[in-house]
Chain A
Amino acid sequence: MNFFVLSLLKAAIVISVLMVSLLYLQWVERKVIAHIQLRMGPYRVGPHGLLQPFADVLKLLTKEGFIPSHVNLFFYLLAPFLAVSLALISIVVIPFGPEIELFGVRTSMQLTDLNIGILFILAVSSLSVYAVTFAGWASNNKYSLLGGLRSAAQMISYELPLALSLAAPLVAAGTLSLREIVLAQQGASLGVLPNWMIFQLPAPQLVGFLVFLIAAFAETNRIPFDLPEAENELVAGFHTEYSSLKFASFFMAEYANMITMTAITTTVFLGGWLPPFPERYGSNWVPAAVFALLGAVAVYYARQAPRPKDRFTLPWVGLALFLVAGIFLIPALHPLLVPPFWFLAKAGSLMFLFIWVRGTLPRFRYDQLMQFAWKFMFPVALANLFATALLVALFPR
């Protein structure tokens, strides 16, 4: 098939999945936080608030795009544009699956396999600090400026442990291409333990994984590191002066950054699309079993659901899940469906962790944040890198 047609097709699939998950990630977050805090969360728009994201988007689209008179117009408008475009661009190098053959066409489940893929992501994420900084500065508002400055300082500080903890698995894998990093994690050590970077001998990256995860929280400006938008000190931080679609851009960028970070963590540390145990032990049948189990739970819960409506709709949800399980049972579709399932399962669990932490931890104080970055994270990441390099040099594969 034509290269351009194929690329367009893949880009269309990735973008539609990304946009839908962006919309619903916000719904999931509100629901999970609500249940952590013993609330119901969005419930009015659609069943269980499922249409809430669309209502929110519609509201933000139709709201008046108010521009304050005292802003620096060019940078004020550039900032949200920069935020959302930089946040969405990283997805192009993420591999969702191996090379597959479909209708006689060989293609890899990845938009583009740059041989400096990981550096590309680092470059994009290091540029994204400009969006927040410009937004804070151009708003011409002291709270916004403080938020922007905090964000710049925080993101520079946490980029060091982020990059250093990312360098250790690169040393172990010996490549910068994300696809080859995943391929370097194939197989299992000691029979059952997957060869993912966090378990891989001779240098397990458990410490690097934790450092990277913490730095990722800081890079995405999420609790406990959301100092740039600390409400009780800074109104809303860098986006205080933004409304309507421009505000929505920042909001979208935050969730897109979260998706990118979880995708990188999955790819580099958790084996990407690889299953947790080898195929010969039947890992190809796990997705079908998971969906069937979910369907059974839905059908069982339907009998005792408190809302009468749910007693009617939940069996249908269960049926749909059984159908999905049935699709996953077809062996011919395994190479197409199972790798993305594992990738999305791992990335989804990490996203749940992000939300869970938001519902659990309080915010850092600013000096604690900086001390933590420079006096703890940075030395630990450096020590991890040295130890990994030493172990890889002593026990070459």
Chain B
Amino acid sequence: MDALLFLIFAAIAVGCGISVVVQRHPITSAISLIGVMGALAVLYLLLGAEFLAAVQVVVYAGAIMVLFIFVIMLLNAGVEAPGGVSWPVRLLGLPLLVVLVGLLSFLIHRSFAGGEEVRFGAFTQGGPRQIGRLLFTDYLLPFEVTSVLILIAILGAVVLARKEID
């Protein structure tokens, strides 16, 4: 049952991920991205990280993607014109993709060779209490540094978007 659910939602995630790249219309791409996030949330849920799953939906699907779609609609971006594909891309695209995927899977397999197999439902440390404790003890510095980084990004966006005053 768990393996079946994992396969279904992993397939949905991958399919939506491909769709993000393939779709010509920005809105449809954005919807596909929402699909990826929803499928990932279900995978987190299967792993027992219920808090993370809910936060994934609230933050990514519910807030960030809404902003994406808002901007796409505001700019009224139309269908992307199919650009010409150069001949090296036609020739080498697929082989290079296969090589990349092969290398990635090889690396992942190498680095997690000794790890035990994931058993669905065995992990119970995904509650808000545990995550909060980890964020404020072990990962306090990365957490705070990330928030400062985001603040800097916001400031940068404001500076870049501001009209020049002469």
Which residues from chain A sit less than 8 Å from chain B, CB to CB?
Answer: 75, 114-116, 119-120, 122-123, 126-127, 129-130, 133, 136-137, 145, 148-149, 152-153, 155-156, 159, 163, 176
Contacts and interface: CB of A to CB of B under 8 A. Distances in A.
B149 interface: no
Contact of A176 (B61, B66, B73, B128): B128
A122 B55 CA distance: 9
B73 A127 contact: no
B61 A127 contact: yes
Interface in B74-99: 74
Given A145-B73, A176-B128, A156 B54 contact: no
Contacts of A130: 34, 66, 69
Contact of A126 (B27, B50, B57): B57
Contacts of A114: 50
B107 interface: no
A120 B69 contact: no
Given A136-B73, A148-B73, A156-B63, 12 more contacts: A75-B27, A116-B50, A116-B54, A119-B51, A119-B54, A123-B58, A126-B58, A127-B61, A129-B66, A130-B69, A137-B27, A159-B62
A149 B63 contact: no
Interface in B35-61: 50-51, 54-55, 57-58, 61
A115 B54 CA distance: 11
B58 to A, nearest CB: 5
Contacts of A148: 73
B66 A119 contact: no
Nearest to B25: A72
B15 interface: no
B70 interface: yes
Given A149-B73, A176-B128, A133 B51 contact: no
Contact of A123 (B57, B66, B67, B73): B57
Given A75-B27, A129-B62, A156 B67 contact: yes
A350 to B, nearest CB: 24
Contacts of B156: none
B127 interface: yes
A127 B54 contact: no
B123 to A, nearest CB: 15
14 contacts: A116-B54, A120-B54, A122-B62, A123-B58, A123-B62, A126-B66, A127-B61, A129-B62, A137-B27, A137-B73, A149-B70, A149-B73, A156-B70, A159-B62
A151 B62 CA distance: 14
A120 B67 CA distance: 21
Contacts of A137: 27, 73
Contact of A133 (B55, B57, B73, B127): B73
Contacts of B127: 115
Nearest to A137: B73
A340 B70 CA distance: 41
Contacts of B27: 75, 137
B63 A159 contact: yes
A156 B74 CA distance: 15
A114 B34 CA distance: 23
A119 B55 contact: yes
Leading 9 A-B pairs by shortest Cβ distance: A126-B62, A119-B54, A123-B57, A152-B70, A123-B58, A116-B54, A116-B50, A137-B73, A122-B58
Nearest to B73: A137
Given A126-B62, A137-B27, A115 B50 contact: yes
A129 B58 CA distance: 12
B61 A149 contact: no
B70 A126 contact: no
A156 B51 contact: no
Contacts of A163: 58
Contacts of B50: 114-116
A153 B62 CA distance: 12
A133 B58 contact: no
A126 B55 CA distance: 11
Nearest to A176: B128
A149 B62 contact: no
A344 to B, nearest CB: 28
B54 A133 contact: no
A119 B59 CA distance: 11
A168 to B, nearest CB: 15
Nearest to B51: A116
Contacts of A149: 70, 73-74
